[in-house]
Amino acid sequence: MENTGQKQVGVASAAHNDAIGHVALLAMAVAGGIAVANIYYNQPMLGLIETDFSHQPVTGMVPTATQLGYSLGLFLLLPLGDLVNRRRMIIGQFLVLAVALALAALAPTAWMLVVASVIVGACSTVAQQIVPFAASLAAPEKRGATIGTVMAGVLSGILFSRTLSGFVGEHAGWREMFWIGVPLALLAAGLMFAVLPRHRPISTLRYHEALRSLGHLWQRHPALRAATIIQAFLFASFTAFWTILALYLAGSNFQLGADVAGLFGIIGAVGIFAAPLAGRVADKR
């Protein structure tokens, strides 16, 4: 296991020779934001979706299905990044994501929308393929700044996706927002095709061995366990707040639309500027 890890480090270090350029880094940040935005489009529009499907209880599962798909993608797809050609995988995930968004836009029933939402969530984990790829291409002394820049793009997608979907949903319809997501996903695929360098797998592990290694990492690293638990609770509270917000604002007390719910995303814009700064501090300290 240790020999395999040493091989991985050696191959990853060789990738530093292809230092990532500013244009490629910006493209990866944009693509990361486009990818992760898809798991949040439905949250401000949940009231609109419920109304369109005659308040069927199953529509309440749409945000949960999207997050469940994202979780499955993190667990089942992310390890593949070390085992296959990551460039091809990133481009392929964006193409499948475009198809899933089209299915969501066309969904004739609430159950079909739930199924499409699971696929959208799983494919949106392509953002988490882009972040480590950018890190592997960066020089060691600039790795933190590189990750910070890509994460700024991811945070932009998280925050402004709600503002965009709330506005589009309120003035055009929730299906139109998913249709807008289709060309955005195709644009991201085109950007990644244009800027990402050739990539060789950095591990010789088989897929089932890679999945099993996650358990070994969990057992061996207490800091990893602590960080995972803390982030799980943070993400749970974050998602609960944003999922309920649109329904709460649409209630009798406020009677506000999806566009207003989406505007709340602007409040967190400060995080976009904090990510690159934190990366530079990490490089120095």
Task: Please state, in angstroms and as integers, the Cα–Cα distance from residue 2 to each residue in 213, 214, 218, following that order.
Answer: 12, 15, 16
Question: Which residues, other chains included, contact 96 with Cβ-Cβ below 8 Å and sequence gap of 6+?
Answer: 119, 123
Question: Which residues, other chains included, contact 2 with Cβ-Cβ below 8 Å and sequence gap of 6+?
Answer: none
Give the whole-angstrom CA distance, residue 78 versus residue 214.
11
**Which ranges of the chain would DSSP assign to H, the alpha helix?**
2-14, 22-37, 46-52, 62-76, 86-106, 110-123, 127-137, 143-171, 174-195, 207-220, 222-250, 258-263, 270-284
Asked whether 154 and 127 are in contact (CB, 8 A), the reply is: yes
Q: What is the tally of structural domains in the chain?
A: 1
Asked whether 160 and 37 are in contact (CB, 8 A), the reply is: yes
Q: Which domain holds residue 40?
A: 2-284
Place of tokens 């995988």: 89
CATH number of the domain encompassing residue 49: 1.20.1250.20
What are the pLDDT tens digits along the chain (285 aa)?
Answer: 444 444 444 444 444 445 678 899 999 999 999 999 999 999 888 888 988 998 788 888 998 999 999 999 999 999 898 888 999 999 999 999 999 999 999 999 999 999 999 999 999 999 999 999 998 888 888 888 888 889 889 988 988 888 889 889 888 999 999 999 999 999 999 999 999 988 788 778 888 898 998 889 999 999 999 999 998 998 888 878 877 877 788 777 887 777 777 777 677 666 677 767 777 777 777
Task: Please state, in angstroms and as integers, the Cα–Cα distance from residue 254 to each residue in 73, 250, 257, following that order.
Answer: 37, 6, 9
